[in-house]
């Protein structure tokens, strides 16, 4: 989830594939139009911009070549739900030993993965039972240290996340074995996640159990797996589309289609995956807008956890008028 003053992107209108390279930053987009009724996917590949200095560039190139030498397994995961009925897409994750199953919203705008804890003081009724730390033989609390905020007893690390729609999640951090399902090539891995003590707003009332955070940050599932060297530094999302739902997600590298097209993104501009939006076309015609309309602090944010596409006011009314002319 990300601030609603930026565009999340029009994936709610068309099937697409999102590809991101997670060295420490995001990058980029390409549109593939189709005239037939089946529509080819809109492909939004993201990549890291090469560093500016020669020393950084050599380090970047060396790392990229080194990582491409040895193929790594992928975590193939199914997507469920859809925007029309739920406002989000979910995937399944299993935590602990024995595994406890959870339905988690796929969110590229969040960095923490969290589920309701068994002793949650303020959690809603969700799809699955709450996580039982005491029932997992492999669970360990993340002990208080200088790199985290601590609970009132100074024993365990805590987290807190607030979202644009005024919902929030807070709790403690734990570490356990996370499994990705029987379609995954990737074996179960230890990872840090949040065990919720308090939910508010939509997070309290939603059917999904929690969120799988794929954003950029040390607590992100992607960053943890990449840092361990168990997967390639990319992930892919493919949504089933409006009224269809479902889809697929792959954590790890895949072979890029031969017609893959890339566009630039500044990884230092924003903590979110972002691109520079220049134009919007409706029925093949560009809207009469200056590119400066979209030149905001964070660029155009790609956020799979945001239901709607948000536009600056001028662009919104131009888009609205053009759509009405087509109907």
Residues catalogued as catalytic: 107, 303
Question: By three-state DSSP, how is residue 119 classified?
Answer: coil
DSSP state of 279: -
Neighbouring-strand partners of residue 160:
170
**Residues 211, 110: contact at Cβ < 8 Å?**
yes
Rounded-to-integer distance, Cα 311 and Cα 294, Å: 8
Neighbouring-strand partners of residue 238:
17, 248
Rounded-to-integer distance, Cα 97 and Cα 248, Å: 25
Rounded-to-integer distance, Cα 180 and Cα 308, Å: 28
Helix, strand, coil shares, percent, the chain, to 5: 15, 30, 55
* 98 cis-preceded (ω within 30 degrees of 0): yes
Report how far apart, in Å, the C-alpha atoms of 260 and of each of 33, 48, 323 are.
13, 15, 29
Rounded-to-integer distance, Cα 139 and Cα 177, Å: 8
Report how far apart, in Å, the C-alpha atoms of 185 and of each of 182, 188, 189, 210, 280 are.
8, 10, 12, 24, 39
* Torsion over CA: 285, 288, 290, 295 (sign): negative
Could you tell me which of 244, 326, 261 has the C-alpha nearest to residue 33? 261
Report how far apart, in Å, the C-alpha atoms of 285 and of each of 61, 188, 282, 322 are.
39, 48, 5, 9
Rounded-to-integer distance, Cα 139 and Cα 20, Å: 30
């Amino acid at each position: 989830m990300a601030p609603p003053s930026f565009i999340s992107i029009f994936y709610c209108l068309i099937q697409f594939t999102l590809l991101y390279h997670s060295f420490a930053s995001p990058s980029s987009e390409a549109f593939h139009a189709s005239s037939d009724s089946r529509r080819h996917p809109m492909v939004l590949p993201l990549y890291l911009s090469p560093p500016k200095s020669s020393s950084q560039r050599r380090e970047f190139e060396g790392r990229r070549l080194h990582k491409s030498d040895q193929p790594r397994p992928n975590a193939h995961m199914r997507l469920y739900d859809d925007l029309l009925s739920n406002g989000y897409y979910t995937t399944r994750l299993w935590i602990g030993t024995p595994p406890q199953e959870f339905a988690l919203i796929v969110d590229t705008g969040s960095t923490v993965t969290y589920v309701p804890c068994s002793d949650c003081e303020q959690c809603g009724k969700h799809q699955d039972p709450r996580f039982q730390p005491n029932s997992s033989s492999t669970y360990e609390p993340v002990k208080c240290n200088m790199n985290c905020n601590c609970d009132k007893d100074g024993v365990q690390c805590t987290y807190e996340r607030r979202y644009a729609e005024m919902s929030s999640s807070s709790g403690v951090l734990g570490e356990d074995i996370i499994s990705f399902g029987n379609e995954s090539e990737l074996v179960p891995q230890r990872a840090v996640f949040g065990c919720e003590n308090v939910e508010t707003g939509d997070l309290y009332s939603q059917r999904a159990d929690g969120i799988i955070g794929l954003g950029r940050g040390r607590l992100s599932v992607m960053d943890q797996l990449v840092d361990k060297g168990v997967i390639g530094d990319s992930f892919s999302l493919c949504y089933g589309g409006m009224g269809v739902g479902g889809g697929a997600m792959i954590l790890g590298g895949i072979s890029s289609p031969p017609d893959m097209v890339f566009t630039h993104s500044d990884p230092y501009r924003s903590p979110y995956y972002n691109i520079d939006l220049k134009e919007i076309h409706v029925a093949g015609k560009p809207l009469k807008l200056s590119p400066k309309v979209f030149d905001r602090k964070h660029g155009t944010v790609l956020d799979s956890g945001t239901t709607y596409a948000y536009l600056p006011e001028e662009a919104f009314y131009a888009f609205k008028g053009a759509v009405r002319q087509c109907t």
